[in-house]
């Protein structure tokens, strides 16, 4: 008999084979894709995040768990209708120009995808012009930027300025994050929100796009 806890624990353990198996069993027994996603896959990754925050799990284990989660997501994705996919809010995300750090940004992408957003991940070393181009081409609702180097932080400001110049700034939310980034810096450059880590980022973006008046200053 399928149990959501078994799927969640497989994610926590980073056991890709079990995640795939339990996800297929759940779907084959008639459980809705959304329930499998929420009560199994995301529940497991949420626990991974908590363990990471209290330093009972570290980056290598976190990445293995993320890979297992992604394996489950790949099975779930085709189960959602084209209409539900087209109605999802779109997020353009990337690590800013001059910065090649990828882990945090990739985890945020993964968590946003698991929460039902359509994520356009531009990768690393993304220029302000490329952020603007992607936001325009995809009619995105949010631009999320990561910087792990103090020397690249101001590219976030240049990207926001580019969004203003293109006429898109009023149409997209902007969220910034990364090790050297602070809320004060985010406010100073005109971002809508700041997130200190990958879990907070996914939750903050979700709240910002669904309830924009309830986020800043929490």
Q: For 93-148, write each residue's pLDDT tens digit.
A: 999 999 999 988 988 998 888 788 999 999 999 999 999 999 999 999 999 999 99
Parallel, antiparallel, or unpaired for β 118-121 and 90-95? parallel
The pLDDT score that the predictor gives to residue 148 is 94
The band of 84, judged by pLDDT with boundaries at 50, 70 and 90, is low
Distance CA 147, CA 22 (A): 36
What DSSP assignment string belongs to 175-190?
EEESTT--HHHHHHHT
The band of 81, judged by pLDDT with boundaries at 50, 70 and 90, is low
Residues 6+ apart with CB under 8 A from 1: none
4-83: CATH topology? 1.10.1240
The band of 200, judged by pLDDT with boundaries at 50, 70 and 90, is confident
Contact 134, 140 (CB under 8 A): yes
The pLDDT of residue 217 is above 70: no
The CA dihedral of 177, 183, 185, 190, to the nearest 10 degrees, is 90
For the chain, the structural domain boundaries read 4-83, 88-214
The pLDDT of residue 199 is above 80: no
Q: What is the mean pLDDT of the chain?
A: 91
Percentage of residues in the chain with pLDDT exceeding 70? 94
pTM above 0.75, yes or no: yes
The band of 80, judged by pLDDT with boundaries at 50, 70 and 90, is confident
CATH no. for 88-214: 3.40.50.280
- Mean pLDDT for the stretch of residues 172-199: 95
Residue that wins the pLDDT comparison between 103 and 4: 4
The pLDDT score that the predictor gives to residue 96 is 98
């Amino acid at each position: 008999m399928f149990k959501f806890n078994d799927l969640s624990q497989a994610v926590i353990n980073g056991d890709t084979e079990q995640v795939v198996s339990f996800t297929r069993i759940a779907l084959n027994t008639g459980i809705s894709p959304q329930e499998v996603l929420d009560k199994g896959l995301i529940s497991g990754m949420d626990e991974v995040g908590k363990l990471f925050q209290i330093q009972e799990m570290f980056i290598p284990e976190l990445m293995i768990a993320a890979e297992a989660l992604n394996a489950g997501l790949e099975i779930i994705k085709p189960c959602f209708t084209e209409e539900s996919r087209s109605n999802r809010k779109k997020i353009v995300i990337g690590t800013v120009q001059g910065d090649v750090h990828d882990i945090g940004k990739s985890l945020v992408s993964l968590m946003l995808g698991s929460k039902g957003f359509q994520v356009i991940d531009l990768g690393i070393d993304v220029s302000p012009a490329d952020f603007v181009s992607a936001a325009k081409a995809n009619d995105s609702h949010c631009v999320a930027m990561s910087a792990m180097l103090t020397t690249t932080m101001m590219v976030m400001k240049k990207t926001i300025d580019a969004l203003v110049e293109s006429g898109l700034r009023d149409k997209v939310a902007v969220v910034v994050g990364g090790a050297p980034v602070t809320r004060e810096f985010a406010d100073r450059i005109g971002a809508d929100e700041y997130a200190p880590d990958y879990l907070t980022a996914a939750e903050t973006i979700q709240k910002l796009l669904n309830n924009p008046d309830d986020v800043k200053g929490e």
